[in-house]
Structure formats: structure tokens, C-alpha cells
């Protein structure tokens, strides 16, 4: 566990380098985080981004990894639903779609 914490700490301290290497302008990160420009630069300089802010930045910097992670989480949820019997058969789904949209 200590290894994970240290790796995160290193990533958070070096987030500026990742931002510099990205194809996005600072303005984009300011917008997705909902921060003012001075606040963004202060957090960048002082290494005080929150965990949620770092997660948002990471999803932009590494979109393929974020997408793969989301698919894996969705598959886990689907498997859990199946195991708990929270499923609907195909005919029921199709009938519901026809009622709603036809």
C-alpha cells in the first residue's frame, strides 16, 4: 500500500510536467476543473490539487486508460447484476422499446 501512496504522491508532484507534454492548452484544464486561472496556477505551483481534480486531469491526459477503466467497472457492475438476478430478458426489453418509441 505504501508503494501506491508513494507513486500517487510522485504523480501529483509531477502533474505539471504531464500538463506541459499534453496537447491541451491550460485554458482547457482551467475549464474542466472549474477554477479561475490564478487558482489553477497557484494549485499547480503549490501542488495542492485535490484528488478529484487530479482524477479529472488524468482522465483528459490519459483518455484510453480512463475509457478502459470505465469499461472494466461497468463489466463488474453487470456481473454483479447478473449474480443478483437483476436481469431482464430480451423480449421484455424489446417490447418496452417498442412501447416507448413506436
Task: Express each pLDDT in 20-59 by its tens digit.
Answer: 999 999 999 999 999 999 999 999 999 999 999 999 999 9
In the predicted structure, residue 102 carries a pLDDT above the cut 90: no
Q: How far apart are CA 48 and CA 19, in angstroms?
A: 15
- pTM over the 0.95 mark: no
Average pLDDT score, the chain: 94
* Nearest partner of 33 among 60, 66, 68, judged by Cα: 60
In the predicted structure, residue 60 carries a pLDDT above the cut 90: yes
Q: How far apart are CA 97 and CA 100, in angstroms?
A: 5
Q: In percent, how much of the chain has pLDDT > 70? A: 100
- As a whole number, mean pLDDT of residues 66-73 equals 95
Q: Specify the pLDDT at position 13.
A: 95
C-alpha grid cell for residue 7?
Answer: 507513486
Amino acid at each position: 500500500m505504501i508503494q501506491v501512496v508513494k507513486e500517487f504522491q510522485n504523480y501529483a508532484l509531477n502533474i505539471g510536467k504531464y500538463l506541459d507534454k499534453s496537447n491541451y492548452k491550460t485554458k482547457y484544464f482551467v475549464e474542466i476543473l472549474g477554477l479561475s486561472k490564478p487558482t489553477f496556477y497557484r494549485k499547480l505551483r503549490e501542488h495542492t490539487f485535490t484528488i478529484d481534480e487530479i482524477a479529472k486531469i488524468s482522465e483528459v491526459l490519459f483518455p484510453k486508460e480512463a475509457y478502459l477503466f470505465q469499461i472494466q467497472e461497468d463489466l463488474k457492475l453487470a456481473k454483479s447484476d447478473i449474480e443478483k438476478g437483476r436481469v431482464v430478458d430480451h423480449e421484455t426489453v424489446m417490447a418496452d422499446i417498442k412501447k416507448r418509441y413506436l
